[in-house]
Amino acid sequence: MKTVRLLIVEDDPELQPRLKRIYREVFASHGYSSIIIETACHVDEARDLAKQAASHPFDLVSLDVNLGDAELSGLDVLATFKRFQSAWMVALLTGVETDTTLDAVMGEEKGERIRKQLRREAYQKFSAERLIVVEKPSPSLSSEQADALLRNRVEQIALVYGEVGRLRYIFRPIEVISLERIKTTKELKNKKLPKKFIETTALHWQIRFNCGDIRTLPDKAGFKTLHHLLGLDRSKSLRPEDAIILEPKGDSVIAPPSGKAGIDPVAEYFITRGIPWNEMTQIAQDQLIQVALSHLFKRYCELRELEDEDDLSPDEDDELVKIRKDLGPLEPFAETGYNRLCDNDHAESSISHSEAAQEGMHEAGSGYDKDEGRKGFDSTDAQAFRARMKRVKECLRENGFSAFADHLDGHVSSTGANWSYNPPNGVEWTVF
């Protein structure tokens, strides 16, 4: 079911109901079965709605420039929509485009300059690819002609909305002031709630494209990725109270016991990092080894080679110590593991090239020169996604959420064209 939520900001009491009717008819003819239309007729009313819609943005806002306010105009309303990120797309209706008196009074050149100035200001105040400036019917037209012109313009808006909307899978603002983690049920019972905060910038937009790439603006801490991965309600913004993470009750999945006798060193490596290794399928385990260890093994082998040749710089020496510490019980297996992973890369493995590419096992353009975004080639967006995930995880680790970061490591994977998060049974994310 195609739905659209519209806001019409128009101060003309005659034009507003006509616009409402035309928008409804045109969008219905474009296959939208649920059309919710809200209206505002003053600058302040529109700005208030824009602020209130920060967590539930309008799909389309039809905005008149001249709202009969001596101090503020539709452009100021536009700035509010941008600031609170409460509109996916805006259609700016301006009478300046068709106002012939402007040319008569000010001259054609000056009139044109004013029109350009208006457009320039509008594009400065809102994202250009999601803003369409259309002309309002001239007051000199008869009501039939004006209606026909309006219908034509709304058709144009609906077409652009459809095109732009095709890129949109998820697009919502996420407000993250901090994430709060409650460590264990025991601590909950004792009411000792350790407060650990990760501060981020205020608002982010999260866009998930149909191709599976996720893009967020501004791209700083990247917590939008978490928001997506946690599968929170799309209509809600991620607020601190939304992001309380409850670790599994009963048997711990995230932090299983370590150092069990007879345990496989690879399994032990992952289990001590909070990955539920034993619950994963063989394919998932292989993927995890590939993703988590290939780089580490490779670097270890390179540094070991240099060490054998007594050619290690102090920095490299430090790096090797760090890698050794990180590898722990896996160190004796690093060289053989690396060779095996190299072999797997060349031979047909259980993982297809497309999956491998999506998982980031191949660097962009490293010999897999097939269609971009399809097989064996990392699109720039996929690379950006991985980089962002890396930053998120680093940030989480720096702030004491290492178990959570490891958990994401283990359970975020690609499923063909999409990224997915598949937590094991027992892991619970609560949304209040």
Partner 1 sequence: MRIPIPESWKFDPPHTLVAGDGPHAAVLAQILDAEMMDWESLSAGPQAEEATRYSRVLNDLSRVFIVGGATRSTADFLECHEAIWNWIAKLAPGGTQHDVAMIFVLPESASRDCGEALAIGLGIPVGELVKSGHGVVRMTEGLGAMLETSTRVVARDRVRYLARKKSDNRHAALANLRETLSNSEPDAGIEAARQILEAFADHEHHLDLFCTSPNHRNGNRIRTVLHHLVTKPVTPMEWEAFQHEIPALLRSLETAHAL
- Does position 76 interact with partner 1 (CB under 8 A)? The reply is yes
Residue of 25, 199, 318, 343 that binds partner 1 (CB under 8 A): 199
Q: What is the DSSP string of 273-325?
A: TT--GGGS-HHHHHHHHHHHHHHHHHHHHHHHHHHHTT---HHHHHHHHHHHH
Pairing of strands 428-429, 203-208: unpaired
Of residues 265 through 294, those in contact with partner 1 by CB under 8 A are none
Residue of 23, 84, 161, 300 that binds partner 1 (CB under 8 A): 84
* % helix, strand, coil for the chain, step of 5: 50, 15, 35
Strands (E), 161-246: 170-175, 181-182, 203-208, 214-217, 245-246
- Does position 37 interact with partner 1 (CB under 8 A)? The reply is no
Contact 92, 134 (CB under 8 A): yes
Q: How many CA atoms lie within 13 A of 350 on its CB side?
A: 11
- Does position 55 interact with partner 1 (CB under 8 A)? The reply is no
Nearer to partner 1 among residue 304 and residue 388 (C-beta): 388
Nearer to partner 1 among residue 194 and residue 328 (C-beta): 194
Secondary structure in 3-state letters for 231-276: CCCCCCCCCHHHHCEECCCCCCCCCCCCCCCCCCHHHHHHHCCCCC
Closest approach, Cβ 23 to partner 1, in A, equals 27
The side-by-side arrangement of strands in the sheet containing 214-217 is: 170-175, 203-208, 214-217
Nearer to partner 1 among residue 51 and residue 116 (C-beta): 51
Closest approach, Cβ 63 to partner 1, in A, equals 16
Q: Which residue has the tokens 């996916």?
A: 88
Which CB contacts under 8 angstroms, 24+ apart, belong to 419-425? 419/212, 419/214, 419/385, 421/228, 421/229, 421/230, 421/231, 424/253, 424/276, 424/279, 425/253, 425/279
Nearer to partner 1 among residue 33 and residue 201 (C-beta): 201
- Does position 415 interact with partner 1 (CB under 8 A)? The reply is no
- Does position 191 interact with partner 1 (CB under 8 A)? The reply is no
Contact 168, 60 (CB under 8 A): no
Q: Cα(367)–Cα(334) distance, rounded to whole angstroms?
A: 26
Residue of 51, 234, 322, 374 that binds partner 1 (CB under 8 A): 51
Q: Cα(97)–Cα(262) distance, rounded to whole angstroms?
A: 78
- Does position 206 interact with partner 1 (CB under 8 A)? The reply is no
- Does position 80 interact with partner 1 (CB under 8 A)? The reply is yes
- Does position 141 interact with partner 1 (CB under 8 A)? The reply is no
Residue of 2, 33, 44, 340 that binds partner 1 (CB under 8 A): 44
Nearer to partner 1 among residue 51 and residue 113 (C-beta): 51
Q: Which residue has the tokens 């399994």?
A: 267
Nearer to partner 1 among residue 69 and residue 147 (C-beta): 69
- Does position 304 interact with partner 1 (CB under 8 A)? The reply is no
- Does position 196 interact with partner 1 (CB under 8 A)? The reply is no
Q: Cα(163)–Cα(155) distance, rounded to whole angstroms?
A: 12
- Does position 71 interact with partner 1 (CB under 8 A)? The reply is yes
Nearer to partner 1 among residue 146 and residue 177 (C-beta): 177
Nearer to partner 1 among residue 72 and residue 244 (C-beta): 72
- Does position 195 interact with partner 1 (CB under 8 A)? The reply is yes
Nearer to partner 1 among residue 338 and residue 401 (C-beta): 401
Nearer to partner 1 among residue 200 and residue 358 (C-beta): 200
Of residues 167 through 186, those in contact with partner 1 by CB under 8 A are 175, 177-178
Where does this chain touch partner 1 (CB under 8 A) — which range of 71-79, 139-147, 242-250, 417-425? 71-79
- Does position 52 interact with partner 1 (CB under 8 A)? The reply is no
Contact 73, 65 (CB under 8 A): yes
Residue of 70, 186, 309, 371 that binds partner 1 (CB under 8 A): 70
363: closest CA among 388, 340, 349, 345? 345
Residue of 143, 197, 233, 317 that binds partner 1 (CB under 8 A): 197
The residue ranges that bind partner 1 (CB under 8 A) are 44, 47, 51, 70-72, 76, 79-80, 83-84, 175, 177-178, 195, 197, 199, 201-203
